[in-house]
Amino acid sequence: MAGFPEIRAIFLAQFHPDQGPIVRMSVPEDAVDVGENAYTDTGATNRSSELRDTGAMGGIVSSNNNFAHEPEVVELIKRTTARGGPSLVDSSKIDFNSIQTLIIPKLTLFERLITVNTGRFKVMCYPVAIEGNYARNMFIFNMCFAFDISADTKCYGPVVKRVGSLLKELEVTGRLLSDVAGTRALLTMMRQLVNKLNDHGEYQIELDLKGLSQPMASTGISIKLFPYYENPATIEAFHVPVKLVDFDVARRKSAQTVYQQHASNDIMWDLVLDKVAEGIDNVNHVRRIARQAQVPEPTVVLALQHLDYYGCIALVDIFQFSNVYEAQARVKDVMRNGWLQRECHAYVTRDGQAGTVSLERLIQLYATVRQRRTVAEWIVDNCIDVERFDVRRFIVFGVLHGMLRRVHCFPVLCASVESAKKEPSRKGSNSGSGSGDEEPLKLEPRVVAMLDGTHHLDEICVAENKDAAVMRGLLDSYGGIEYVHL
């Protein structure tokens, strides 16, 4: 199915009490090579010790550090050739012998998502061990999914885990895997998994378990693939959401998906999303959107995170002519990407006036953006006609595509000045001289607390609801402020 990686093979591995790790069945039947071990200098015992000692693997085993204790995802990369010579297995098949100690691993890796790269394939699996009345008092199996090695298989993580958990439940309740009578139902399920997930991205089947478990004589299994999205970014009050899709089209398309019929004109999104969407004009920051919509700011942030999660918006900084940007190495992408050039030209020129700025001129302008020059100074230096050339869109487009980077201004209050400000001024209090002097400007304690070098000027301005020029004037009047540009 378009958008999802194609399953190349599925195979069921088990730990046989006499033979050790074996491949019980596979779809297609000849997808797995179970011949002689391709390694000439390592055996099962040595590879098991390698798995226990990650340091000896030389970077072969890596765990996901996002998990605090036991990782749920373990990524493993196996060497595809022997140390003493070329590989002896068919490159069009999965070399089971080279990865068998990772498919049937140590108990510490059971019920964890595991990814193994071997030859041309990437194998995802979820090993399961069931204690009970079995040979050696334990039944070990692993349903493995094989993909092309370059495939992005993140969307298959929940599917592989769900299949492993379902098979565990069916084994506990009906002996589906350990009983020979369940072979036919199991093989049917595996064939259906490959065909349905590849063609439709979802799978639903009724398993006939008569003779295995009377309470579960007919068991239904439903699995569906969903796109994988990264967690939404942290959204602050000074961020500016930029539309990446037409909200009106998205609203009606989602309504048609729900009702499967014509969507009426009064179909609405969630009330908060409707109000927040009205305030997104690619200029307003989060706090201003919350005030205009009369919605609490944390609720607006949640709504924007929802839109960001599904790729409906992107986040940029507040555009001002006093901002400073610098060109990045990705500027060269616009030189070689015709689609990017056309998109940039259509987005930047006002009212689609094709003759206003040439593509060559756009590339030159991106290359001239550099540090220590504000946007206003850059406009003057390059003689930009702001009536035909939308500078804000030019900057936003560059930021969104990684061609420009905002150089933020961080005001820092010197420690000596801060301590002097806190001391009461005794000089002049007992004498008449200086009675006409103006009192020094005082800043709110919350503003002084933000002058520690970790809060940039945009954040301070939004927090105090002041323009950047006004806030910078207040800071200069206060004195003892150093500005760091990063």
pLDDT of amino acid 64: 40
pLDDT at 346: 84
Q: What is the CA angle 410-404-229, rounded to 5?
A: 95
Would you state the pLDDT for residue 71?
A: 46
> What's the rounded mean pLDDT across residues 367-391?
89
Q: Is a pLDDT exceeding 60 seen at residue 53? A: no
Instruction: Look up tokens 């800071």; give the residue.
Output: 475
pLDDT at 421: 60
Mean pLDDT of the chain: 80
Mean pLDDT in residue range 327-354? 80
Mean pLDDT of 247-276: 64
What confidence score (pLDDT) does residue 41 get? Answer: 33
Token pair belonging to 291? 């005030």
Q: What is the pLDDT of residue 254?
A: 56
Q: When comparing pLDDT for 36 and 61, which is higher?
A: 36
- 289 versus 212: the higher-pLDDT residue is 289
Cα(384)–Cα(378) distance, integer angstroms? 8
Alpha helices (H) in 150-242, listed in sequence order:
157-174, 183-200
Note the pLDDT of residue 1.
63
For the cut 80, the answer to whether the pLDDT of residue 48 exceeds it is no
Q: Extract the tokens encoding 92.
A: 């069009």
Query: pLDDT band at residue 435, thresholds of 50, 70 and 90?
Result: very low
pLDDT value at position 350? 63
Indicate the SS3 state at residue 192: helix
The per-type count for the chain, helices as H runs and strands as E runs, is 17, 18
Whose tokens are 């616009």? That residue is 334
- Please tell me the distance from the alpha carbon of residue 428 to that of residue 435, in angstroms, as a whole number: 8
Can you list the pairs that 149-155 forms with residues at least 24 positions away whose Cβ atoms lie under 8 Å? Answer: 149/117, 149/119, 149/120, 149/121, 149/122, 150/122, 151/5, 151/6, 151/122, 152/5, 152/228, 153/5, 153/115, 153/122, 153/124, 154/228, 155/4, 155/5, 155/225, 155/226, 155/227, 155/228
Share of the chain above pLDDT 70, in %: 75
User: What pTM was computed for the model?
Assistant: 0.68
Each residue of 140-184: pLDDT tens digit?
999 999 999 999 999 999 999 999 999 999 898 888 899 888 888
Q: Say what the pLDDT of residue 61 is.
A: 37
Q: What is the pLDDT of residue 75?
A: 61
> Average pLDDT for residues 34-47, to the nearest whole number?
45
Q: Is the pLDDT of residue 287 over 80?
A: yes
Predicted confidence (pLDDT) at residue 83 exceeds the cutoff of 60:
no
Contacts of 205 (CB under 8 A, 6+ apart): 188, 189, 192, 196, 220, 221
Mean pLDDT in residue range 5-32? 93
Q: CA-CA distance, 192 to 205, in Å (whole number)?
A: 8
More confident residue, 77 or 368: 368
263-272: average pLDDT: 62
Average pLDDT over residues 217-235: 83
Low-confidence winner among 7-11, 30-34, 212-216, 332-336 (lowest mean pLDDT)? 212-216
Res 46 pLDDT > 50: no
67's tokens: 């998990």
* Amino acid 416: pLDDT: 64
pLDDT at 395 over 50: yes
Q: How far is 474 from 483, CA to CA, in rounded Å?
A: 14
366: Cα separation from own chain's centroid: 28
Q: What confidence tens digit (pLDDT) does each residue in 472-484 have? A: 999 988 888 999 9
For residue 290, is pLDDT > 50? yes
Q: Which residues are CB-neighbours of 107 under 8 A, at least 6 positions away?
A: 129
